Amino acid sequence: MAEGAIARTLRVLEVVCAKGPQSLKALSDDLDLAPPTLLRILRLMAEEGYVTQLPDRTWRGTMLVWSLGCAVNATVGVSTLSQEHTDTLTTELDETSVYAVYEQGAVTYAAHSEPAKPVRANVRLGRRHGLLSTTTGHAVLAWLDDARLEAAVAEQPQSADPLDFDEASRLMARIRADGYVSGSGVKWPDLWAAAAPVFDASGQVVGALGVSIPAARADEAQDRAIEAVVREADAMTRRLGGSVSHRTTLEA
């Protein structure tokens, strides 16, 4: 079935917003859309205020998209709650912390807290990542079923060093046994990170709390960071009506 106009337009908007200012050619290559078709879509979205063309002729999303995202984040009901827990982690550890919400097969950074010191991990709110590309994604994926794991394996970027299903399955089993994930960053190897899953009242994994530390100072902080991340993830789970016992069981 041919892709509908609405679906195509939304796909264009997603790529423009996710990847920042890009030329028409770069967007055309990325989206596999003919430049004339893509230009018509971009101009339509520009008329409605969702994208804009910069003086260098690249295209980017507008603050209207950002405001809509903030509104969605607020109505989900966990925005303020998750911010309290990232603030607690950053105050205690003096490092960057994040809450990543799980939705539609990926994690999106919905809340973060950063220390004042100049050398720190930087987190971009609203950035969406595949489940095998970040530590918080691993913390979610370990409690999903094999079908979601297979999809995550298939969605890995070809330019990376992808895991096959068996490797990914063994990794998820280790994470479930520990109840958290830690180690060098998947997407950012110069960072060490730890993350633990958050569950709702039904026992479904809904996201993950995590902390990221520059590798140069991570050794002395690892044990304390893991303990704090697990504690705050469990505390957030309880506040959502969930149980910490969910962290020891695989989602049905």
Write down the domain spans for the chain: 5-61, 69-248
CATH code of the domain made up of 69-248: 3.30.450.40
208 touches 140 (CB < 8 A): yes
Residue 252 pLDDT more than 50? no
Q: Give the pair of three-digit tokens for residue 126.
A: 């609203």
Amino acid at 189: P
For every residue of 94-157, DSSP letters joined together read: SSEEEEEEEETTEEEEEEEE--SSSS-----TT-EEETTSSHHHHHHHTTS-HHHHHHHHHTS-
Arithmetic mean of pLDDT, 233-239: 92
Which pLDDT belongs to residue 248?
61
Strand runs labelled E in 139-252: 181-184, 191-199, 205-214
Q: Say which residues have a Cβ less than 8 Å from residue 180's Cβ, sequence separation at least 6.
A: 139, 194, 195, 196, 226, 229, 230, 233
Number of helices (H), then strands (E), belonging to the chain: the values are: 9, 8
Token match 């399955």: residue? Answer: 169
Within 10 A of 164 (CB to CB), how many other CB atoms are there? Answer: 9
pLDDT for 5-53, tens place per residue? 888 899 899 888 877 788 999 999 989 999 999 999 999 999 999 999 9
- Alpha-carbon distance 96 to 120, whole Å? 7
Which 3 state secondary structure label does DSSP give 18?
helix
- Alpha-carbon radius of gyration of the chain: 19
Q: Report residue 139's pLDDT band, with 50, 70 and 90 as the boundaries.
A: very high
Helix axis angle, 165-178 to 146-154, nearest 10°: 130
**Mean pLDDT on 69-85:** 73
Rama region for 197: left / alpha / beta (φ>0; ψ in -120 to 50; rest) = beta
Q: Is CATH 1.10.10.10 what the domain over 5-61 is classified as, yes or no?
A: yes
What's the CA gap between 50 and 128, in Å, rounded? 19
pLDDT above 80: residue 184: yes
- Which pLDDT value is given to residue 2? 47
Q: What percent of the chain has pLDDT over 70?
A: 90
Mean pLDDT of the chain: 86
Q: What is the pLDDT of residues 97-112, one digit of tens each?
A: 999 999 888 998 889 9
- pLDDT at residue number 84: 92
